[in-house]
Amino acid sequence: MKYLAEYRDPELARRLLGELRAVATRPWAIMEVCGGQTHTLVRQGIDEQLPAGIRMVHGPGCPVCVTPLEMVDKAVAIAGRPGVIFTSYGDMLRVPGTTGDLLGVKARGGDVRVVYSPLDAVRIAAEHPDRQVVFFAVGFETTAPANAMAVLHASRAGLANFSMLVSHVLVPPAITAILDAPDNEVRAFLAAGHVCAVMGFTEYEPIAARYRVPIVVTGFEPLDLLEGILMAVRQLETGRAAVENQYARAVRRSGNPAAQAAVAEVFAVTGRAWRGIGPIPASGLRLAGAFTDFDAETRFATGTIAVRENPECIAGAILRGTKVPTDCTAYRVRCTPRTPLGAPMVSSEGTCAAYHNAGRRPSTVAES
């Protein structure tokens, strides 16, 4: 617990809450963009301890949750083909598609494997030259450098049997889309520290200036979040709108240039549909240049797939921050981590999973 317990000190937490109560004079809605931050807020009960009027809005910061349904369906279709080894992070195996999930493909005999790094998938491709090995590349800017390095390694090794199903999304365009929504109530943002560790935070500065919203780069421990909220409220109360860095121990304004260079070499910016939200221009990454040969969508000619969301699931409203899991009639009844109707109940960063794991129950919906 060295260098970790310091960020969970209950006495310091009480002091920060006291400062918040002294500073806040008006109601403010603040969105934490990252699903990891959501889990800390909910697990520690921080959102319930804030001064009256300070409301945390849970944003679309779960990369598994915002992976388009069409991409999940394409993954299921590719994984079910003979001669394919389909690799993914564990969370993706149980994300429901239109007619099933990757775990179901595995149960029916498909070769679906959980990996802990995209380089594991490259190694599998080298070990099985007679098989097509596909890696499901999802995530925000945080995972993009490792995925770019995997493609570079596969290219240099001449692994023609390796490909990626790419569904990367980018945070700044999502923040802009939220601010442009007619029903937006968010007045400040906590930016995800790990994304900014890669990309820096210069991209957020024009957003803060244009929309007059404070953006605070924040870590993931309880004291990080409390300090980030306090910094945002101080700005709101004084009429300031700037990008501030609470997570200075890990984030520099310029980010990680080497990681950025790898991403820029392998990927290009593209439009992307976010599950539950819809298309957001210039909000994703695709393989670019010489690396398009590693595009699984092209290699397997997936084309367009007709998709259908579960009509009972309100994941879209939850990802947009307009509802919380306890507003859903299926929450903890027909939708649980064992029987998820939507991705936010599956992922380790999903808001529904955070509420379920913390034991939060609907106030008006009776459970069966």
pLDDT digits (tens, 9 = 90+) for 183-230: 899 999 999 999 999 999 999 999 999 999 999 999 999 999 999 999
- What's residue 3's pLDDT? 63
Residue 35 · residue 351 · CB < 8 Å: yes
Write the DSSP symbol of residue 365: P
- What's residue 365's pLDDT? 45
Rounded Cα distance, 208 and 216, in Å: 10
Which of 101, 46, 34, 64 has the alpha carbon at shortest distance from 247?
Answer: 34
| Segments of the chain scoring below 70 in pLDDT | 1-4, 363-368
For the residues of 143-195, what is the DSSP string, one character each? THHHHHHHHHHHHHTT-TTEEEEEEEE-HHHHHHHHHHSTT----EEEEEHHH
Rounded to the nearest angstrom, the gap between the alpha carbon of residue 55 and the centroid of all alpha carbons in its chain is 21
- What's residue 272's pLDDT? 93
Residue 271 · residue 279 · CB < 8 Å: yes
Cβ atoms within 10 A of the Cβ of 44, count?
17
- What's residue 2's pLDDT? 60
Longest dimension (CA), the chain: 66
Sheet holding 111-114, edge to edge: 111-114, 84-88, 132-139, 162-169, 278-287, 267-274
For the residues of 193-222, what is the DSSP string, one character each? HHHHHHH-STTHHHHHHHHT--EEEE-SSH
Inter-CA distances, 107 with 16, 19, 212, 335, Å: 49, 53, 51, 21
pLDDT digits (tens, 9 = 90+) for 30-76: 999 999 999 999 999 999 999 999 999 999 988 889 998 999 999 99
Q: Where are the beta strands (DSSP E) in the chain?
A: 28-32, 54-58, 84-88, 111-114, 132-139, 162-169, 188-192, 215-218, 243-245, 267-274, 278-287
This prediction's pTM: 0.92
For the residues of 98-109, what is the DSSP string, one character each? SS--HHHHHHTT
Write the DSSP symbol of residue 28: E
- What's residue 8's pLDDT? 81
Residue 340 · residue 346 · CB < 8 Å: yes
List of domains in the chain? 19-308 (3.40.50.11740), 315-357 (no CATH)
- What's residue 225's pLDDT? 97
Residue with tokens 């092209």: 298
Backbone phi, then psi, for 299, in 5-degree steps? -60, -40
Sheet holding 28-32, edge to edge: 54-58, 28-32, 188-192, 215-218, 243-245
Rounded to the nearest angstrom, the gap between the alpha carbon of residue 178 and the centroid of all alpha carbons in its chain is 15
- What's residue 367's pLDDT? 41
Inter-CA distances, 9 with 20, 139, 206, Å: 17, 31, 35
Which of 175, 170, 168 has the alpha carbon at shortest distance from 31?
Answer: 175
